[in-house]
Amino acid sequence: MSKYLKNLMTEELKNRLADVEGALVVNVIGMEANATVGLRKELREKNIQLIVVKNSLARRATEGTALAPAFEGSQGTQAVVWGGEDVVSLAKEVMRLAKDSQYEPFGARGGVMDGAKLSAQEVEAVSKWPSRQEQLSLLVGQILGPGATLSAQLLGPGGLLTSQVEKKAKE
């Protein structure tokens, strides 16, 4: 492959990964063609993109970016997945698909989250975290909880007093 062609491919990959802050590196080598098409279809439905890339090309394209640690020390051809709501939802989807027998060799090899390199075991651990939406609902519940408790405590005695006053008024 000529240097000019490699530079064009590197620039294209840089443009595709320009705004990506978290991605996972997965293994798709050895999958049958039909399984790969099905995998890509399922990922697209979740707004997740997958691209198979040579490591040396990926290292050049991500040099100096937040994604660079994902390709340090990696060898061979692998795929990069990114997208979804956040890295946690991405990890959940990758681990769910890795357990599916029809996508047998598919699995997480590592990744990067907030500029830190993740191993395959760390990706599995991240997949067990609550997603962004779940975290927001927990936060809202914690914020509203004390207010609801205070409201109930203030309205409880007031409601009891009101019912006693109404009972006396009817007598």
Q: Is 134 contained in some domain?
A: no
pTM: 0.74
Look up the domain containing 164 and give its range.
139-171
- What gap in Å lies between CA 31 and CA 3, rounded to an integer? 30
Residues 84 and 158 in one domain: no
- What gap in Å lies between CA 23 and CA 143, rounded to an integer? 31
Residues 163 and 125 in one domain: no
The total domain count for the chain is 2
Residue pair 69/122 in contact by the 8 Å Cβ criterion:
no
Residues 123 and 144 in one domain: no
- CATH label of the domain that carries residue 99: 3.30.70.1730
Residues 116 and 57 in one domain: yes
- What gap in Å lies between CA 171 and CA 165, rounded to an integer? 10
Q: Is 118 contained in some domain?
A: yes
Helix axes 87-98, 33-45, angle to 10 degrees: 150
What does each of the 171 residues of the chain score in pLDDT, given as a tens digit?
788 888 888 899 888 888 888 899 998 888 888 888 999 999 999 999 999 988 888 888 888 888 888 888 777 778 999 988 888 899 999 999 989 888 888 888 899 988 889 888 999 998 888 887 888 888 888 888 887 777 777 777 777 777 777 887 887
